[in-house]
Amino acid sequence: MPRQAIYKKGLSLVPWQNDLFWVGSTYEWDHTHLDPTPAFREQTEKQLQQWLKLPYKVLDHWAAERPANLERRPFVGLHPWLSTVGLFNGLGTKGCSLAPYFAHAFAAFLAEGKPLEPAVGLERFRRILSQ
């Protein structure tokens, strides 16, 4: 299966390492723990069987929280008061497409002093962080 793309069809199928891919995720908001559930695994495997025409093998099953915020915009930059702490988060469901762009912008900011887009800057959190 070509590794130059991220495949989406209800799920995301993402090239990971070597010849492995990871698959996910859900939009569940009401969960009481971060443990993977048998129901999600079963649902995911059922979708994969309908989608893929290639044999596959599940090697592991884990869960995590999606890094998102109420604004649904990433936040990128140095902490306003702790200048040695960089923040790069809040990419949410568009993380696969946004991460490369903002990672490049953050690297240019750190290495060359190029400004970050104000829309993703941490200044918008100054009031909240000062409490």
- pLDDT for the residue numbered 9: 84
* Preceding peptide of 25 cis, ω within 30°: yes
Tens-digit pLDDT profile for residues 24-37: 876 676 777 778 88
Q: Do residues 98 and 112 touch, judged by C-beta distance below 8 A? A: no
Domain boundaries, the chain: 1-65, 75-129
Structure tokens at 2: 């070509």
Output the pLDDT for position 7: 85
For every residue of 92-109, DSSP letters joined together read: GGGHHHHHHHHHHHHHHH
Distance between CA atoms of residues 129 and 106, nearest Å = 21
Write down the pLDDT at residue 65: 74
Q: What single-letter DSSP state applies at residue 81?
A: S
pTM of model > 0.75: no
C-alpha dist (Å) from residue 104 to 50, 52, 93, 108, 124: 36, 33, 19, 6, 21
Q: Which residues of the chain have pLDDT under 70?
A: 26-27, 29, 67, 129, 131
* Amino acid at site 99: A
The pLDDT assigned to 33 comes to 77
Q: Given this model, what pLDDT does residue 129 score? A: 67
